[in-house]
Structure 1
């Protein structure tokens, strides 16, 4: 088995309830997928298969989680998934997991998806537009170039400016941000223009 000592250390420092769960999950992955490689992703144990992420596990204060990278393609969506990341909800004991044979079949299903070149399904939910602050709208109305730029932005780019202005805690900060926003938009710049590739 390809054991990573960082995973040993991760498991060792978890709460008493979590260690047996993590050991059980680790053993299940290696039993069903002997080629699995261990690593850390986002500071949590992850399992790779043929260089692609297969599954992850993590422990928290009162529960553990386990999930497949290809998520609902492996395990259909379920109500208990909403309480925690992964496909098995909040795991408080080994009894909260599927039987060993069922878990092994799911791991093999995830492997088969990787073998077939299937990519994970990622859905994006569009955020609702934020209401335009009156003071920002007045400032834009006073600068035709800035207003045209703002109105031509994508919803996300408009949201970036609106959030930046509305998150100011003091009136003076808000006024400075509005002035800066109008200046940048008059130049055709997005809120985070400094970080955009030329």
Structure 2
């Protein structure tokens, strides 16, 4: 998780650079996020071995200095990180150029369209419970396809049958209440 204390001075410098731009500071997911017209533009944070700026729609940045990376290849579609390992790597001119370009991207409304996913087959254990329990079935059918997928993957990811059964018991009340598996984190 974040290790901001190690990079206190460096993160303060990034915050000052960001504050020079027409962005609104808000707190999301426990971190400062800077927005333009309500859309996430940039944030920063410290980690064990580096500190970073991330651009929420960084995929559209030209990346003139070839500094951006996709921190979770295969998972993250839009977000790009600029990692630093020392204060000396911070270049206000370059960072400001990226922030200005990121704001222009938001003004244009560019964004990656979510991929349409194919529904996953419902695991046998869950399918059997849905057949036996009308309230559970109704709750599951009311969930969005994405929330249904979260539950299906949660059960499928367990390797042992015993774990699958425990997970099924855990999620039944959540499904009946119409809650998604990860709603508490959103």
- Please confirm whether the aligned pair reaches a TM-score higher than 0.5, indicating the same fold: yes
Per-residue deviation, residues 30-82 of structure 1 (Å, max 9, x unmatched): 23x1x322222111111123333221111223322211222211255977433
Equivalent residue in structure 2 for 1:71, among 25, 40, 58: 58
| Residues 92 and 166 of structure 1: CA distance in aligned 2, closer, same or farther (over 3 Å) | closer
Worse overlay, 164-173 or 65-74: 164-173
CA distance in 1, matches of 2:154, 2:33: 35
2:86 to 93, 103, 115: 93
**Aligned partners of 1:46 and 1:54 also within 8 Å:** yes
Structure-2-length-normalised TM-score: 0.57
1:194 pairs, out of 157, 177, 180, with: 177
Query: In the TM superposition, what are the counterparts of 1:113-132 in structure 2 within 5 Å?
Result: 113-116=105-108, 118-121=109-112, 123-124=114-115, 126=117, 129=120
Please report how far the alpha carbon of residue 107 of structure 1 lies from its aligned counterpart in structure 2 after TM superposition: 1.1
Larger Rg: 1
Alignment correspondent of 1:23:
12
**Whole-angstrom CA distance in 1 between matches of 2:19 and 2:10:** 14
Which ranges of structure 1 fall in alignment gaps of 5 or more residues? 1-10, 182-190
- Offset, 1:101: 2.0
1:82 corresponding residue in structure 2: 71
Cα 1:69–1:130 change in 2 (3 A) is same
1:130-145 equivalence runs, <5 A = none
State the shift of 1:195 in Å. Answer: 0.5
TM-score (norm 1): 0.54
Distance apart, 1:21 and its partner CA: 2.1
**Equivalent position SS for 2:111:** coil
Q: 1:75-131: CA deviations, max 9, x gaps? A: 55977433798533542223445x322221111111222333x14325448589579
Where structure 2 has 5 or more consecutive residues not aligned to the other structure, the ranges are 180-186
CA 1:70–1:129 in structure 2 vs 1: closer, same or farther (change >3 Å)? same
Distance 1:60 1:54 in 2: 20
Q: CA RMSD in A?
A: 4.8
Q: Which has the higher strand share?
A: 2
